[in-house]
Structure 1
């Protein structure tokens, strides 16, 4: 089915390019953000969404999202209606087509989705230049470059729209949908800290002993500790807390339930993963552990500059030596996207982050917010 869908998209994109003019309208009536990103990068499109709203307040606005992320958009943040996108579903693509045609489309990440944007009737397509292989760029009308100085992915996405940067994020800009249940009973009389143990890449796991030291010390300060993991990561709970001393939540929760847990937390401590970016939307004070990843590209940047966000990392770690983001080379970027089989020293960059350093940063934030 996916092969057939791709063929239809290619044929429609070519036909529309051959027989319809590509025109950038000054006042577009319909705007589309096309992508197929994971949770974190999807949420980091907030600056792009806000900037589009500021520049084109009267346009109908649509954004694609994986089916599991659709509930996050229930309250139409920045005026955007979400369209569920599953590349294997013809019905999914048909619904996107029925909402078009679109006057303007922005491509986030992989430029292959410029073909989808053209196929569903986008008159002008804007993306980031330099994607590989080159055929991905053929349907892009206006290609912009990544910043030549350090900036976050989120801020750079906001600059796909001409003009000024969007105003920094304020609490409740992106409203949480209502929910009838919570992950666990929350005792508001005692502040709690969420420690998210999981990550999409094993190389981002913090050592069990480090988590144990952190939880013990913060618990002794009077905070309830709540451990969470993503799907298929229950084993991390057993390794970090074999005696079940702390409350824990396995990875079978909805993202809205996690949002509720985060927005009432005194602090989140997590490796660089999608939950960190959900915490930005919820305005939760956060400490992020960056081992392979880069705080330059996924930190708060200008858009989330008003939040309590601390970084625990080792600057200039020797094997954080890759300069590519979405297959584009960025000279100022240093990160590692290797997997467990490719890494010569698995876990070393995370082991270098000490519990003492994280506890110190935690106490600094908590003194300002709760103590």
Structure 2
């Protein structure tokens, strides 16, 4: 099947399935390209398939008509077998997403470097490896027929009830959100360093709000020791976290899903960077600064440091570096 300009050969009310498994960040970075696609083809019916914990990344998103989640592979497989789409675009190359691509009815589209690419009806060229993830997705959609000259903004719709609840907790005080967690240790700046940074932010008049995901409470508690009056908010839903960050003057954190959520709601970001590729994963289309030191081994898979006993890339970032970057960003 020819994939070039495929969107233009589909019906005006075509049903498109995008498969975007894995992380919060991956899901949020899809909102910009989908926004551009829906602007050009407003009658396309867009469905996204994501993992259950990230379904709220598309909550109330007017560009997405349906969100499918796959809690259990076998039970979900039977549901997919009766679904029909005009095109199924797999944005991952793994075996699970391939299985889902094959179960649903429709023209399967992958990328030429995917394993078992022969199982797709058509493939698109592989994007340049050093481009941002949003740019890679836009290049894929451009091959399929999307026409867009503007870098698309990420999208996360306002949730008024959650916004009011977060405002009530902070009582109108100017605040900065710090999210010190990350899944991989090679992406996590240390709690004592975050604590010292929080102390300096508090001296500027900010209320410090610390957030954390599952299993990160001890990390946050250690950070909070440095600043009296720190607000700790644990276990927030994605809409609650979004509205908390939307109301902040500044967001500071590692390369993680909440960083991309901050980009989606337009809050200025200081991103403290370790092992991952900042060219591909930096905050998208928002005022931001990446604080990162150069290492020949960067980027790397990040599951553990392969050249030292601990991840020197993230450990080498100093409080002074980040503090100067905060001054620079706030002075704009």
Note whether the superposition's TM-score is higher than 0.5: yes
Residue of structure 1 equivalent to 2:161: 179
Q: Which residue of 1 aligns with 2:308?
A: 344
CA 1:291–1:199 in structure 2 vs 1: closer, same or farther (change >3 Å)? same
Q: For residue 82 of structure 1, give the secondary structure of its aligned residue in structure 2.
A: strand
Q: Distance in 2 between matches of 1:318 and 1:186?
A: 43
Match of 1:326 in 2: none
Structure 2 residue ranges without an equivalent (≥5)? none
| Residue number among 29, 34, 38 corresponding to 1:53 in the alignment | 38
Mapped to 2, the partners of 1:278 and 1:89 lie a distance apart of 31
Show CA shifts across 1:24-58 (max 9, x none): 57124110001322111111112331232134321
> 1:243 Cα shift?
6.1
1:127/1:205 CA distance change after superposition, 3 Å: same
Shift of 1:149: 6.5
Q: Give the one of 103, 117, 120 matched to 1:119.
A: 103
In the TM superposition, 1:1-371 aligns within 5 A as 26-28=9-11, 29-88=14-73, 90=75, 92-98=76-82, 100-112=83-95, 113-122=97-106, 124-131=107-114, 134-135=115-116, 137-148=117-128, 150-162=130-142, 163-165=146-148, 167-170=150-153, 173-179=155-161, 181-182=165-166, 185-188=169-172, 190-242=173-225, 245-300=228-283, 304-305=284-285, 307-315=286-294, 317-320=295-298, 335-340=299-304, 342=306, 344-368=308-332
Sort the Cα spacing of 1:51 and 1:22 in 2 relative to 1 into closer, same or farther, 3 A: same
| 1:52-93 C-alpha deviation (Å, 9 max, x unpaired) | 213432121100122222233231342432112224351x34
Q: Please give the secondary structure, in 2, of the residue aligned with 1:143.
A: strand
TM-score by length of structure 2 reads 0.87
CA shift, 1:215, in A, is 1.1
The DSSP-based 3-state class of the residue aligned with 1:293 is: coil
CA RMSD of aligned residues (A): 2.6
Contact 1:73/1:82, CA 8 A, preserved across alignment: yes
Name structure 1 gaps, 5 residues minimum. Answer: 1-20, 321-334
Contact 2:182–2:254 (Cα < 8 Å) also in 1: yes
Q: Is the CA contact (8 Å cut-off) linking 2:271 and 2:291 kept in structure 1?
A: yes
SS at match of 1:103: strand
Please tell me whether the aligned partners of residues 23 and 54 of structure 2 are also in contact (alpha carbons under 8 angstroms).
Answer: no
Report how many residues are paired: 321
Query: Take 2:226 and 2:197, find their aligned partners in 1: how far apart are those partners?
Result: 16
- Contact 1:78–1:174 (CA<8 Å) still a contact in 2? no
> Aligned-pair distance for 1:211?
1.2
**3-state SS of paired residue (1:125):** strand
Compute the TM-score of the two structures, normalised by the length of structure 1: 0.78
Shift in Å at residue 199 of structure 1? 0.3
Give CA deviations for 1:227-255 in whole Å, capped at 9, x if unaligned: 12211111112322336624243542211
Contact 2:180/2:212 (<8 A) preserved: yes
SS in 1 for 2:130: coil
